[in-house]
């Protein structure tokens, strides 16, 4: 590894981290620099006398600066693409011109497995109203109503959801009214989402809108009682089969998984989800709203879990067992962990020496830039820079800062649902148990965020853009860059492997114990691939200088 | 397990409003692709940023290459009050940070619905001094609720003429022809240029994505790769002696604009995919070059014919289902007909009634037995229903990656052709136009049929030589 990594804890190098930040920012026009300054942060952690560590403040969840080549997508992507897309038995109709539906058609790898061919699975289909100019001029409500009817006649789903795209809000189509009328007419649940692409500043607004509507229209429909250790898994989307591995672990522990929001999920699971005793939140950003609303309305508390990384998985399973505080469950959980761990150790013995000391950068969505640091740590790899596309300050700095966050003008129109306790179905028992546990030191609703786990003086960058990524790579020469499809090929052209942590590069699963092993192998493959040593042709001077060096393209700078 | 288990032959719901599994996408991605065929150009999406992210992602998944573009990143405020401030900020940031020579702005359904006037905003940018010396901003209006991705490609290609091409007033350059290649792959653009050069002519090719979306791994990321039509070359298109526009949908508007602006005579013809279409392309060039065809081209043509004669037994009478873009489909259908195959089902989501006429011409006597559909609700769900309701189904599928779901369910081999191809590589490196391209398509068809015969043959009939 480099002897001059800019976050090493000595004063001389500390300047490097700050000056690198300056260099990133100096490329901008003044106004742009002022905005980006707040979002590019050196992770100085300051401990006060009592040992309490405070983190730097980061600017996050603010509007994207035009023209900088952001990684971000839109509210529709966050709502339809992320949260509702993975549910196999709801017909999702995109109300808009054809593009939005087309691009979100099978491009996120949220796998699903219906038990038989008789069960609905609409995920290989793309449904759209394909709005034309006359629909923009005269309105698209009639076409939408007709499309819902046609979808019902053809597919007979148990529910139909409608997703608004940019022009829908502008021309004033009332999708909720149309949905309500069609619900009445068809006798199935039909509901709409006002997730126009311009809402909020990123995918994040879409998450919130999706949370609200699924909570309002589906959660709570089915009051069937659940088993003694019942949980929901919130914010796990079964990319590459992650949820399948987690489901298997939970099942072997005897834990009753009521619903996953929303990997490998069905409508009925959502409808019954409020009957679970505990909510376990994986992706804090996308689903904390449902967790909070469910607690207020029905009583079950929520905890943060993480099934990315073997250690994190074991810790999360134990945390669930601890909540239920039942000897039988604790034993089962320990048995599963002991069954799984030998293979993990074996794999670590092989792969850790091959990856140890290498340096990674992670710039992904709203949760993985944090979660995957645990996996890299298991390989002895360091995370030297990280950030999110669209997370909020609480995802960076921890939920303690929530009271300090001001909602700005761009996000003010995202509805906050007012939720009261349900007089018939609020379960005081769950609440009482939570209070009792909390007194005993058990932590609910706790999330410390990404920065707490990052090394001192590492760069934390919100809404990173192409310029900043390229500059970081050129200056710091990481061994691995983690991002998405838009970044991947530019990064690799620079001679640095790029792991897609959205699509997993069509591999995975990476969750749980088996997933961790898959990930170790994959990272070894990437950072030690022969290809990186062959980029310079043998007739170039640079190649001659570097000829006898290791298989990775270490170029200390 | 059946992937498309809800598709059945006997659903007789007449759809008017619901599109299922579209055989098209929206305009801006075509404009983005075209703009990438301009040297040192950064495409820019004037709308909310989700569009730009989706379009870049799709191009990157198709090419396994970076696809750079900026966006105006509209918020709710700009959607109400207009996106002028956003575009001005974008122009300043892009020239300061990324330094392209040209920004090619396209619009989305958002900025089109609110009615942003891009040329007026660009004027404002010039007034504010945001355009550095020698740099330019061109634009195309690409409302997603009109036409399809091919329309966006055509409009941005036409914008290159409107903004850049100029007649210098001197005499037309005798050997210089404008080649507007249409929406084809980088290797196709290279192949077309090669043919024009072999015919002794100097092609001005635009857009030209060769050298952009097939760039090499060198250890250096070039924000603006070596390829792309230069502004200077497009400017000189106004002095060429002729314009050949391949594919009326994608290239026709630019050729017409060039005629109107610089009085360059133009010929709009089908994409030279297959023997006959390539013959016509060569004949046109022969007309311009004074009447000669080099031996090399004769040989290439002869090789395709040789393949057709040698392997005719495997092609004869086989049926295929095709979906994709009109310019591609017309030429592909003709190619199949020349092999004595039957393009039984043909679907495009791109609207435009002329498609029926063009398909009718190439199908000729076969038109009776074939089903052709276009426009909204002419989608892959419809196509799949046709296949399912035919007792013989079809022998071959030709289209983009989304066909793999039908291919697996119905156990029909798929040849990936068109846009997007998300699950294979090679399409940008191997041309399908010209005689060489025809050879490649014939090889792909044969591979599919012979693999199938090998797989299905009884032990006793398993052949070594085919």
- Interface check for B241 against chain A (CB to CB < 8 A): the answer is no
Query: CA B22, CA A323: separation in Å to the nearest integer?
Result: 48
Report the C-alpha gap between B424 and B407 in whole angstroms. Answer: 15
Helices (H), B290-349: 295-310, 312-315, 326-338
Q: Residues 76..95 of A with a Cβ closer than 8 Å to B: which?
A: 76-77, 93
Put simply, the answer to whether B222 touches A165 (Cβ < 8 Å) is no
Q: Do A70 and B73 touch (CB under 8 A)?
A: yes
Chain A residues in contact with B108 by the CB 8 A cut-off are 166
Confidence (pLDDT) at A180: 98
In total, the C-beta contacts within 8 angstroms joining chain A to chain B are 269
Rounded distance between C-alpha atoms, residue B299 and residue B133, angstroms: 49
User: What whole-number distance in Å separates Cα of residue B66 and Cα of residue B69?
Assistant: 10
The CATH number, out of the four listed (1.10.150.110, 3.40.190.10, 3.40.50.1980, 3.40.50.970), of the domain defined by the range A1-67+355-398+448-506? 3.40.50.1980
- Within 8 A of A466 by CB-CB distance, chain B residues are 68, 98
Q: How far apart are CA A419 and CA A216, in angstroms?
A: 10
Please give the residue of chain B at the shortest CA–CA distance from A76.
Answer: B50
Integer Cα distance of B155 and A163 in angstroms: 29
Q: Which chain B residues are closer than 8 Å to A146 by Cβ? A: 16-18
Radius of gyration of chain A (CA): 24
A251 close contact with B: CB closer than 8 A: no
Contact A410 B77 (CB under 8 A): yes
How many helices (H) and strands (E) chain B has is answered by: 18, 14
What's the rounded Cα separation, in Å, for the pair B466 and B239? 53
| Mean pLDDT score, B308-334 | 98
Cα separation, B236 vs B172, in Å, equals: 10
- The correct answer on CATH 3.40.50.1980 for the domain covering A219-340+407-446 is yes
DSSP letter for A528, please. T
Reported as type and span, the H/E element at residue B19 is: strand B19-20
- Other beta carbons within 10 angstroms of residue A59's beta carbon come to 16
Instruction: Give just the sign of the alpha carbon dihedral A76, A77, A82, A88.
Output: positive
In this prediction, the answer to ipTM > 0.95 reads yes
Nearest-CA distance B401 → chain A (Å):
11
Asked if the Cβ–Cβ distance from A73 to B97 is below 8 Å, we say no
What is the rounded CA–CA span in Å between residue A157 and residue B35?
42
Claim: this prediction has a pTM higher than 0.80:
yes
Residue of B nearest to A106 (CA): B402
Length of chain B: 466
State the nearest Cα–Cα gap between B322 and chain A, in angstroms: 19
Return the closest-CA partner of residue A238 out of A261, A267, A212: A261
Put simply, whether A442 touches B (Cβ < 8 Å) is no
A66: nearest CB among B68, B89, B402: B89
- Residues in CB range of A373: below 8 A, 6 or more apart: A362, A383, A386, A450, A453, A454
Task: Residue A112: list chain B partners with CB under 8 A.
Answer: none
| Cα–Cα distance measured from residue A502 to residue A506, given in angstroms and rounded to the nearest whole number | 9
Give the torsion sign (CA, B240, B241, B247, B249).
positive
The CA distances from residue A239 to A262, A317, A512, A519, in Å, are 11, 20, 13, 14
Q: Examine domains A1-67+355-398+448-506 and A75-218 and report if their fold is the same.
A: yes
> What element of type H or E holds A30?
helix A30-39
Select the residue of A65, A484, A489 nearest B64 (Cβ to Cβ).
A489
A362's CB contacts (< 8 A; 6+ apart) are: A368, A369, A372, A373, A383, A385, A386, A387, A482, A483, A501
Question: Which residue of chain B is at minimal alpha-carbon distance from A74?
Answer: B50
- Residue A324, helix vs strand vs coil: helix
What is the strand order of the sheet A256-262 is part of? Answer: A256-262, A230-236, A278-281, A302-304
Q: Which residue of A has its CA nearest to B30?
A: A99
Per CB-CB distance under 8 Å, the chain A contacts of B73 are 63-66, 70, 72
In this structure, what is the dihedral angle of CA atoms B72, B76, B77, B78, given to the nearest 10 degrees?
Answer: 30
Question: Measured between alpha carbons, how far is B188 from B179 in angstroms, rounded to an integer?
Answer: 12
For chain A positions 328-367, those within 8 Å of chain B (CB to CB) are none
Chain A residue at shortest CA distance from B9: A154
Nearest Cα to B344, choosing from B271, B397, B275?
B397
> Does any CB of chain B come closer than 8 Å to the CB of residue A254?
no
Q: Which of B8, B11, B17 to mutate to test the interface with A (most CBs of A within 10 A)?
A: B17
Per-residue b or e along A188-206, where b marks 16 or more CB atoms closer than 10 Å to that residue's CB: bbbbbbbbbbbbbbbbbbb
Catalytic residues of A: 74, 77, 108, 207
- Edge-to-edge strands, sheet with A40-42: A40-42, A459-461, A382-387, A359-363, A480-483, A498-500
Of chain A residues 162-191, which have a CB less than 8 A from chain B?
165-167, 169-171
Chain B residues whose beta carbon lies within 8 Å of the beta carbon of residue A24: none
- Residue among A199, A161, A194 nearest A390 (CA): A199
Distance CA B194, CA B176 (A): 14
Is the CB of residue B82 less than 8 Å away from at least one CB of chain A?
A: no
> Is B26 in Cβ contact with A97 (below 8 Å)?
yes
C-alpha B87/C-alpha B129 separation (Å) is 14
Name which of B4, B10, B12, B50 to mutate to probe chain A: the one with the most chain A Cβ atoms within 10 A of its Cβ. Answer: B50
Number of H helices, E strands in chain A: 21, 16
- Alpha carbon distance B187, B199 (integer Å): 18
DSSP collapsed to 3 states, A432-448: HHHHHHHHCCCCCCCCC
List average pLDDT for each run of 10 residues in chain A, which is 557 residues long.
44 68 97 98 91 92 98 98 98 98 98 97 98 98 98 98 98 98 98 98 98 98 96 98 98 98 98 98 98 97 98 98 97 98 98 98 98 98 97 98 95 95 94 94 96 95 98 96 98 98 98 98 98 95 58 38
Q: Which of B155, B172, B160, B140 lies closest to B231, judged by CA?
A: B160
Give the closest of A126, A147, A155 to B6, CB-based: A155
pLDDT at A543: 64
* Contact predicate B38/B104, CB 8 Å: yes
Dihedral Cα A477, A482, A488, A493, nearest 10 deg: 10
The verdict on A547 touching B (C-beta cutoff 8 Å) is no
C-alpha–C-alpha distance, residues B262 and A162, integer Å:
49
In this complex, the residue of B65, B76, B98 whose CB is nearest that of residue A489 is B65
Residue B12 — pLDDT band, cuts 50, 70, 90? confident
Strands in A370-475 per DSSP E: 382-387, 459-461
B48:A198 CB<8 A: yes
* Partners of residue B27 in chain A, C-beta under 8 Å: 99
**Fold classification of A75-218 (topology level):** Rossmann fold (3.40.50)
B142 touches chain A (CB under 8 A): no
CB under 8 Å to B160, separation ≥6 — which residues?
B34, B38, B138, B206, B207, B229, B234, B254
Report the alpha-carbon distance of residue A544 to residue A273 in Å, rounded: 62
Contact criterion met (CB < 8 Å) for B109 and A135: no
A493:B145 CB<8 A: no
**End-to-end Cα separation, chain B, in angstroms:** 33
- Is the Cβ pair B376, A64 closer than 8 Å? no
Contacts of B4 in chain A (CB under 8 A): 124-125
Compare A557 and B124 and report the one with higher pLDDT. Answer: B124
3-class DSSP state of B268: strand
User: From B26, which residue of chain A is nearest by alpha-carbon distance?
Assistant: A99
| CA B63/CA A490 separation, integer angstroms | 12
Q: What is the pLDDT of residues B383-397, one digit of tens each?
A: 999 999 999 999 999
Q: What is the pLDDT of residue A544?
A: 62
The full set of domain ranges for chain A reads 1-67+355-398+448-506, 75-218, 219-340+407-446
3-state DSSP call for residue A505?
Answer: helix
Nearest Cβ partner of B96 from A29, A102, A198? Answer: A29
Asked if B74 reaches chain A (Cβ–Cβ under 8 Å), the answer is yes
Q: Which is it for the CA torsion B39, B41, B45, B51, positive or negative?
A: positive
Task: Work out the minimum CA distance from A61 to partner chain B, whole angstroms.
Answer: 12
Q: Which residues pair with A195 in a beta bridge?
A: none
- Cβ–Cβ contact A401 with B under 8 A: no
């Amino acid at each position: 590894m480099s002897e001059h990594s800019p976050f090493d804890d000595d004063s001389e190098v500390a300047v490097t981290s700050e000056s690198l930040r300056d260099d990133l920012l100096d490329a901008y026009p003044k106004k742009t620099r002022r905005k980006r300054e707040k979002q590019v942060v050196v992770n100085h952690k300051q401990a006060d006398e009592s040992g309490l560590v405070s983190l730097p403040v980061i600017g996050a969840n603010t509007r994207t600066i035009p023209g900088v080549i952001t990684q971000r997508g839109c509210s529709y992507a966050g709502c339809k693409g992320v949260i509702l897309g993975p549910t196999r038995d709801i017909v999702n109709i995109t109300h808009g011109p054809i593009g939005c539906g087309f691009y979100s058609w099978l491009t996120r790898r949220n796998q699903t497995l219906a038990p038989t061919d008789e069960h609905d699975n609409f995920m290989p289909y793309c449904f759209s109203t394909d709005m034309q100019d006359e629909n923009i001029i005269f309105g698209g409500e009639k076409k939408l109503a007709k499309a819902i009817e046609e979808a019902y006649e053809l597919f007979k789903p148990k529910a139909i959801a409608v997703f608004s795209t940019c022009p829908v809000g502008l021309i004033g189509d009332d999708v909720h009214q149309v949905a309500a009328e069609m619900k009445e007419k068809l006798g199935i649940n039909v509901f709409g989402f006002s997730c126009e692409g311009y809402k909020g500043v990123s995918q994040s607004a879409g998450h919130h809108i999706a949370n609200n509507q699924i909570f309002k229209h589906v959660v709570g429909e089915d009051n069937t009682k659940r088993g003694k250790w019942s949980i929901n898994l919130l914010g796990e989307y079964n990319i590459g089969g992650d949820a399948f591995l987690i489901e298997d672990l939970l099942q072997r522990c005897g834990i009753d998984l009521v619903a996953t929001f929303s990997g490998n999920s069905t409508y009925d699971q959502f409808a019954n989800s409020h009957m679970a005793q505990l909510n376990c939140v994986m992706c804090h950003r996308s689903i904390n709203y449902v967790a909070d609303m469910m607690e207020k309305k029905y009583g079950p508390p929520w905890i943060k879990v993480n099934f990315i990384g073997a250690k994190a998985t074991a810790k999360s399973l134990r945390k669930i067992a601890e909540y239920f505080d039942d000897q039988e469950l604790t034993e089962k959980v320990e048995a599963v962990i002991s069954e799984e761990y030998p293979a993990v150790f074996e794999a670590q013995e092989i792969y850790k020496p091959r990856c140890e000391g290498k340096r990674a950068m992670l710039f992904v969505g709203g949760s993985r830039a944090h979660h995957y640091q645990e996996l890299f740590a298991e390989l002895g790899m360091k995370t030297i820079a990280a950030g999110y596309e669209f997370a909020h300050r609480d995802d960076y700095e921890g939920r303690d800062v929530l009271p300090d966050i001001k909602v700005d003008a761009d996000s003010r129109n995202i509805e906050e649902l007012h939720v009261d306790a349900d007089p018939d179905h609020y379960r005081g028992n769950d609440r009482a148990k939570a209070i009792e546990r909390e007194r005993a030191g058990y932590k609910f609703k706790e999330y410390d965020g990404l920065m707490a786990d990052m090394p001192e003086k590492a760069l934390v960058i919100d809404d990173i853009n192409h310029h900043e990524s390229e500059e970081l790579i050129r200056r710091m020469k990481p061994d691995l860059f983690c991002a998405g499809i838009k970044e991947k090929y530019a990064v690799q052209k620079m001679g640095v492997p790029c792991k897609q942590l959205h699509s997993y590069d069509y591999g995975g699963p990476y969750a749980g114990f088996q997933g961790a092993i898959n990930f170790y192998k994959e990272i070894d493959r990437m950072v030690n691939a022969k290809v990186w040593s062959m980029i310079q042709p043998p007739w170039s001077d640079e190649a001659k200088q570097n000829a006898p060096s290791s298989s990775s393209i270490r170029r200390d700078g | 397990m059946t992937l498309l288990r809800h598709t059945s032959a006997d659903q007789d719901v007449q759809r008017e409003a619901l599109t299922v599994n579209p055989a098209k996408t929206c305009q801006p991605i075509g404009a983005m692709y075209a703009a990438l065929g301009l040297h040192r150009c950064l495409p820019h999406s004037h709308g909310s940023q989700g569009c730009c992210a989706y379009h870049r992602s799709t191009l990157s998944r198709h090419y396994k290459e970076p696809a750079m573009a900026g966006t105006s990143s509209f918020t709710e405020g700009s959607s109400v009050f207009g996106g002028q401030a956003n575009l001005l900020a974008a122009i300043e940031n892009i020239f300061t940070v990324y330094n392209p020579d040209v920004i090619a702005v396209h619009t989305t359904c958002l900025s089109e619905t609110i009615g942003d006037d891009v040329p007026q905003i660009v004027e404002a940018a010039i007034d504010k001094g945001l355009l550095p010396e020698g740099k330019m901003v061109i634009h195309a209006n690409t409302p997603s609720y009109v036409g399809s991705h091919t329309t966006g490609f055509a409009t941005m290609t036409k914008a290159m003429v409107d903004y850049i091409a100029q007649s210098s007033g001197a005499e037309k350059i005798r050997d210089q022809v404008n080649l507007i290649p249409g929406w084809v792959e980088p290797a196709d653009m290279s192949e077309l240029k090669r043919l024009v050069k072999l015919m002794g002519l100097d092609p001005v090719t635009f857009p030209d994505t060769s050298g952009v979306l097939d760039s090499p791994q060198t250890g250096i990321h070039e924000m603006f790769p070596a390829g792309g039509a230069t502004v200077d070359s497009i400017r000189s298109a106004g002095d060429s002696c002729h314009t050949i526009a391949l594919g009326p949908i994608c290239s026709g508007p630019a050729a017409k604009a060039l005629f109107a602006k610089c009085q360059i005579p133009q010929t709009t013809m089908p994409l030279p995919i297959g023997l006959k279409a390539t013959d016509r392309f060569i004949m046109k060039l022969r007309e311009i070059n004074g009447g000669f065809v080099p031996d090399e081209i004769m040989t290439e043509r002869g090789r395709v014919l040789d393949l057709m004669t040698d392997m005719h037994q495997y092609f004869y009478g086989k049926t295929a289902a095709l979906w994709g873009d009109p310019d591609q489909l017309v030429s592909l259908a003709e190619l199949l007909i020349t092999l004595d195959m039957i393009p039984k089902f043909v679907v495009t989501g791109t609207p435009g009634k002329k498609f029926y006429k063009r398909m009718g011409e190439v199908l000729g006597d076969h038109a009776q037995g074939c089903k052709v559909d276009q426009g909204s609700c002419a989608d892959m769900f419809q196509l799949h229903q046709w296949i399912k309701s035919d007792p013989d189904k079809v022998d071959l599928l030709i289209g983009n990656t989304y066909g793999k779901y039908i291919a697996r369910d119905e156990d029909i081999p798929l040849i990936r052709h068109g846009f997007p191809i998300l699950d294979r590589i090679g399409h940008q490196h191997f041309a399908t136009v010209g005689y060489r391209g025809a050879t490649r398509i014939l090889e792909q068809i044969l591979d599919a049929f012979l693999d199938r015969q090998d797989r299905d043959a009884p032990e006793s009939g398993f052949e070594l030589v085919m």
